[in-house]
């Protein structure tokens, strides 16, 4: 049973979708500590990418596993109810992500997608981010 009221659900959604989600803050701190400068949420680029390195022409996209439909991810479990609502919603997000990434690549940007579940191992995360930015 879905026990949330419509209001509670939209509050929860707002919280989950918050632009300054924990994994994003983590990655921002990490990038900052590596000494890179970046812009946040650039509205002039397709999909308003999260972390943009203009000079390097590189972008880091942070994807929440649930909202963005991380394939075969243990964090990405569909709710048991209201599938008629969630399935099209998540599928739509996923499609939009892929379309935006395609568009950005076409414009010459390199993209690193970091899924929420990949931020748990700090060492691995640091390796990925630093090799992406220094390549």
Question: By the criterion CB under 5 A, which residues form the site for Zn ion?
Answer: 65, 70, 73, 75, 115, 117
Q: How far apart are CA 101 and CA 79, in angstroms?
A: 27
Q: How far apart are CA 135 and CA 118, in angstroms?
A: 20
Query: 21 is written with which tokens?
Result: 């989600």
Residue 58 or 68: the one with the smaller Cβ distance to Zn ion is 68
For the CB of residue 23, give the shortest distance to Zn ion in the complex, in Å. 10
Query: What are the Cα distances from residue 43, in Å, to 28, 49, 50, 68, 80?
Result: 18, 8, 10, 19, 35
For the CB of residue 77, give the shortest distance to Zn ion in the complex, in Å. 11
Kindly state the DSSP code that residue 79 receives in the 8-state scheme: P
Task: Return the number of other C-beta atoms located less than 10 Å from residue 63's C-beta.
Answer: 22
For the CB of residue 59, give the shortest distance to Zn ion in the complex, in Å. 19
For the CB of residue 103, give the shortest distance to Zn ion in the complex, in Å. 23
Residue 22 or 34: the one with the smaller Cβ distance to Zn ion is 22
Contact 79, 12 (CB under 8 A): no
Residue 60 or 65: the one with the smaller Cβ distance to Zn ion is 65
Residue 109 or 115: the one with the smaller Cβ distance to Zn ion is 115
């Amino acid at each position: 049973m879905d026990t949330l009221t419509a209001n509670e659900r939209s509050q929860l959604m707002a919280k989950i979708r918050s632009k300054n989600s924990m994994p994003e803050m983590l990655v921002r701190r990490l990038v900052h500590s590596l000494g890179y400068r970046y812009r946040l949420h650039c509205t002039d680029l397709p999909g308003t990418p999260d972390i943009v390195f203009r000079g390097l022409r590189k972008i880091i996209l942070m994807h929440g596993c649930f909202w963005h439909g991380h394939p075969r991810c243990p964090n990405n479990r569909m709710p048991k109810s209201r599938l008629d609502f969630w399935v099209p919603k998540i599928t739509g997000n996923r499609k939009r992500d892929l379309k935006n990434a395609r568009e950005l690549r076409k414009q010459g940007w390199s993209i690193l997608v970091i899924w929420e579940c990949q931020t748990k191992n700090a060492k691995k995360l640091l390796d990925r981010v630093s090799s992406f930015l220094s390549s």
